[in-house]
Amino acid sequence: MLKNPILEIRDLHAKAGEKEILKGINLTVFPGEVHAIMGPNGSGKSTLAQVLAGRDLYNVTGGEVLYEGRDLLALQPEDRAQEGIFLAFQYPVEIPGVSNLYFLKAALNAIRKRKGEPELDAMDFLSRVRQKMSLMEMDEALLNRAVNAGFSGGEKKRNEIFQMAVLEPRLALMDETDSGLDIDALKIVSHGVNALRGPDRAIVVITHYQRLLNYIVPDYVHVLAEGRIVKSGDKSLALELEESGYAGIEEFAETAQ
């Protein structure tokens, strides 16, 4: 018997101001799957991630998104997060004066509250955090530093995946997590993500480069161009793209219009 999809995107259109960026996205993601979304700059990859997370900079002008069968677009961003959607940001934000640990505890407890679970006490929380820190090979000193403040680009990205590991989302969206990472950091991040793969969780990896997909091997690869998914396939599609580049894809998108 087939499982129900975690995410169903149907003919999704979205605008930033007057400009239409998403022009009819269709995508279905089942539990346990890892999908990679690739595409050239400006194709709408990050917009898709932000729209799914509920950023109000974008107006959804058509289509629908179902998350676990329910209307995702009707939910506030914090409700989506509490329901298990996690976005690893392309540009993680700094929050001066708020420690990583405090921030993460507030987030985790907000999610637990939604599930009707009691708040984690300090000891349980710390042991969970320590375990995930070692997974991400992070220095514990980072816990007491302010959220992303003064972090290097690589540390910020690693911190995103660390948060993801602690919060254990059902649907993880990773927006160009690989950009700005050197090869060692890339391996560590990928290791962390792979450790999160599981039958109940789905991961959508947005990336410009095939490189990441050598480490996080996707079940499906989609190519986004001009606000539409123009091609889908298995992991071999990513390799194909690396050889031919996006040029051919863009032509394809233009003829499709």
Partner 1 sequence: MATQLTSIETLANQEYKWGFVTDIDADTVPPGLSEDVIRLISGKKNEPPFMLEWRLKAYRQWLKMKEPTWANVHYPPIDYQKIIYYAAPKTKTNQPKSLDEVDPELLRTYEKLGIPLHERELLAGVAVDAVFDSVSVATTFKEKLSELGIIFCSFSEAVQHHPELVQKYLGTVVPHSDNFFAALNAAVFSDGSFCYIPKGVRCPMELSTYFRINAKDTGQFERTLIIADEGSHVSYLEGCTAPMRDTNQLHAAVVELVALDNATVKYSTVQNWYPGDKEGKGGIYNFVTKRGKCLGANSKISWTQVETGSTITWKYPGCLLIGENSVGEFYSVALTNNYQQADTGTKMIHAGKNTRSTIVSKGISAGHGQNTYRGAVKILKGATGARNYSQCDSMLLGDKCGAHTFPYLEVKNTSSSVEHEASTSKIGEDQIFYCRQRGISTEDAVGMIVNGFCKEVFRELPMEFAVEAQKLLGVSLEGSVG
Q: How far apart are CA 159 and CA 165, in angstroms?
A: 10
Stretch of 52-60, 63-71, 195-203, 249-257 contacting partner 1, by CB under 8 A: 52-60
Q: Which of residues 83-122 bind partner 1 (CB under 8 A)?
A: 86-87, 89, 92-98, 102-104, 106-107, 110-111, 114
Strand order in 228-233's β-sheet? 85-88, 171-175, 202-207, 34-38, 220-225, 228-233
DSSP 36: E
Q: Which of residues 13-42 bind partner 1 (CB under 8 A)?
A: none
**Three-point CA angle 144, 145, 150, nearest 5°:** 170
CB 36 → partner 1: shortest distance, Å? Answer: 21
CB 54 → partner 1: shortest distance, Å? Answer: 7
Look at residue 28 and give its three-state secondary structure: strand
Long-range pairs, 240-243, Cβ under 8 A, ≥24: 241/38, 241/210, 242/209, 242/210
**166 or 237: whose CB is closer to partner 1?**
166
Contacts of 17 (CB under 8 A, 6+ apart): none
Site string for partner 1, 177-216 (x = CB under 8 A): ----------------------------------------
Task: Say if CB 224 and CB 250 are below 8 A apart.
Answer: no
CB 78 → partner 1: shortest distance, Å? Answer: 4
Count of residues engaged in binding partner 1, rule: CB under 8 A:
30
CB 25 → partner 1: shortest distance, Å? Answer: 20
Would you count residue 163 as binding partner 1 (CB under 8 A)?
yes
**23 or 132: whose CB is closer to partner 1?**
132
DSSP 16: E
**30 or 102: whose CB is closer to partner 1?**
102
Burial of 109: CB neighbours in 10 Å, binned 0-12, 13-18, 19+: middle
Task: Say if CB 110 and CB 82 are below 8 A apart.
Answer: yes
User: Binding residue for partner 1 (CB under 8 A) from 31, 77, 153, 154?
Assistant: 77
Instruction: Provide the binding-site residues for partner 1, judged by CB under 8 A.
Output: 53-55, 76-78, 80-82, 86-87, 89, 92-98, 102-104, 106-107, 110-111, 114, 146, 163, 167
